[in-house]
Amino acid sequence: MRAAAAFVVAALASSLSLVPRRASADCETLRPTDPGGYFSDDFAAYEPTFVDSASGRLRVHYATSGPSAPPPTTTPPNQAPDFVVLAAEIGDEALAVYDDLGFLPIRSDAGPGACPSNGGDGRVDLYLVSFGAGDGQSVVEECAGGAASACSGYVLCEVDPAGYPSDEIALRTIVPHELFHLIQASYSGDMPSWFQEGTAQWAADRVHPALTDLEHFVPAYVEQARRSIDNPPGGAAGAFLYGTAVWPVFLDESFGLISVRGILEGLGQGMSVWEATDASLAAFGSSSADAFSRFAVALAGAGERFGTGGFIDGGKYEALPAEAVALGPGTLVSDVLSGFAIRTFEIGEAPIPHQLSLGAPPDRVAAYLLPLEAGLARVDSAVMLPATVSGPALVVVAGTSPSKQDAPFAVTASEAPPGEPDPATSTSSGAGGGTAQQDEPEEAGCSTGRSRTDGDGAWLVVVVASLMWRRKK
């Protein structure tokens, strides 16, 4: 389910995007074009018709009168309302981009076991309807072998979207997002809502990177990052789900989009999302635990702290909130984490260097020291604790396991031995990421490489950068 930015919380109070209306070909729930079907009260009785997109892959259904009718404005040579034609064009554009990115095509709704009401043929069906609240939804109909297998379905889009500067921006925001949900269903009809929404936001941003919808929702996740990314809050959780898009953005920029695609493939094989993540990242010498802790560092260095390394567009994202702690001998902070959660602490100046250490279950918690210079983060100079600090810095503590049992942690400080190097001066900066030259590459900082790669071959350079992130063994 998509909702316009202006009213996201109200619109998404009780909705999810990928709605498994049936786990197999049980066709009791009909489409908007069928009497008694989904949204049919404002659709089926009002002379519905359709327009096929130029590629022939997409069919846009609309009512010619009634509450779900689009604005009647028609510009030659269009034979249908301009809004309908624009929806078809934008849908075609999104499908072409997803093809280029190597994703599975949307599963046909005209294959074996398909429901009789399938829009007339095997094209992807998009229905323009009046939601009242919210502005998009995808619906799973028939699955090859149960909800966890490949599924077909259709999408719905608000016919009169509010809260956007124009209809074009509205459709460019809604349609690619919803179509990607059907691509997800082509891998598996059963995946966590946060991963559904986060990757759909990321994919839509891949289609139209100039739009700011992804950045708009990041604060909803960042401000609650003390809870595990896979444990969204109850109630009006939609904005949090969308905000998790920064996770696939990080994977894409660090390892290439092949890493995100690999997670979808793993889900299609029946893996859990974190099992699939580990399987996908293994090809890069990484894992969900390793990548998530470095993701936390990149997010801590975003927003007003955006300096060197980290996200390509880190200045556009909200940074993780940080709690101030005084640097001195003893325990700086002691608390617990659950799952893939994040805590960030800010340290000011100190008269002498201190050695920081982490006490925590090694399979549950990791911590990095992230130097600050003039208030800006040097993500590419971040180092894992233990580390020495003498100036302003952040300590980023991240969960590294999906386990929801509390994992206690403590960050302690002691006076550093004379001559102990400070990571702010001893670690070479890549000045924008990539493959910064270091004496000990295995301790290099947390840069995503600030490059976005496509396809199966273009990630070779990223492998070099990703290896620079590996923990010191």
208 within domain boundaries: yes
What whole-number distance in Å separates Cα of residue 30 and Cα of residue 22? 11
Strand partners of residue 151 = 143
25 pLDDT higher than 50: no
Whole-model pTM: value is 0.85
3-state SS, residue 136: strand
Instruction: Report yes or no: 114 and 136 within 8 Å, Cβ to Cβ.
Output: no
Q: Which of 175, 209, 243 is the last residue of a domain?
A: 243
What whole-number distance in Å separates Cα of residue 332 and Cα of residue 6? 40
Q: How confident is the model at residue 370 (pLDDT cuts 50, 70, 90)?
A: very high
Domain containing 97: what range? 5-243
Amino acid 112: pLDDT: 79
Residues 6+ positions from 432 with CB-CB distance below 8 Å = 308, 309, 450
**Poorest-confidence range of 19-23, 83-87, 316-320, 354-358?**
19-23
Buried b (16+ CB within 10 A) or exposed e, 6-37: eebeebbeebbbbebebbeeebeebbbbbeeb
Let me know whether 197 and 304 are in one domain. no
Let me know whether 195 and 320 are in one domain. no
144 pLDDT higher than 80: no
Instruction: Report yes or no: 197 and 92 within 8 Å, Cβ to Cβ.
Output: no
Amino acid 406: pLDDT: 96
276 within domain boundaries: no
251 within domain boundaries: no
Q: How confident is the model at residue 202 (pLDDT cuts 50, 70, 90)?
A: very high
Let me know whether 230 and 296 are in one domain. no
248 within domain boundaries: no
What whole-number distance in Å separates Cα of residue 320 and Cα of residue 298? 9
Burial of residue 452, with CB atoms counted within 10 A of its CB: 0-12 exposed, 13-18 middle, 19 or more buried: middle
Give me the mean pLDDT over the 106-114 stretch.
85
* Token pair of 166 as six digits: 């124009």
Give me the mean pLDDT over the 196-221 stretch.
96
* 151 or 357, greater pLDDT: 357
Let me know whether 333 and 444 are in one domain. yes
Residue-averaged pLDDT of the chain: 84
259 within domain boundaries: no
* Token pair of 324 as six digits: 């101030």
N residues, the chain: 473
Instruction: Report yes or no: 308 and 332 within 8 Å, Cβ to Cβ.
Output: no
Let me know whether 180 and 308 are in one domain. no
What whole-number distance in Å separates Cα of residue 186 and Cα of residue 148? 10
263 within domain boundaries: no
**Poorest-confidence range of 203-212, 377-386, 462-471?**
462-471
6 pLDDT higher than 60: no
Burial of residue 252, with CB atoms counted within 10 A of its CB: 0-12 exposed, 13-18 middle, 19 or more buried: buried
Nearest to 147 by CA among 262, 268, 241: 268
Amino acid 409: pLDDT: 98
Q: Which of 218, 243, 268 is the last residue of a domain?
A: 243
**How far out from the chain centre does Cα 381 lie?**
25
Instruction: Measure Cα distances from 472 to 59, 89, 217, 441, 442 in Å.
Output: 53, 50, 34, 9, 5
Kindly report the backbone phi and psi dihedral angles of residue 200, in degrees, each rounded to the nearest multiple of 5, phi listed first.
-65, -40
Let me know whether 234 and 328 are in one domain. no
Give me the mean pLDDT over the 290-311 stretch.
97
Let me know whether 195 and 329 are in one domain. no
What's the structural domain count of the chain? 2
Q: How confident is the model at residue 24 (pLDDT cuts 50, 70, 90)?
A: very low
Instruction: Measure Cα distances from 145 to 29, 103, 190 in Å.
Output: 19, 21, 12
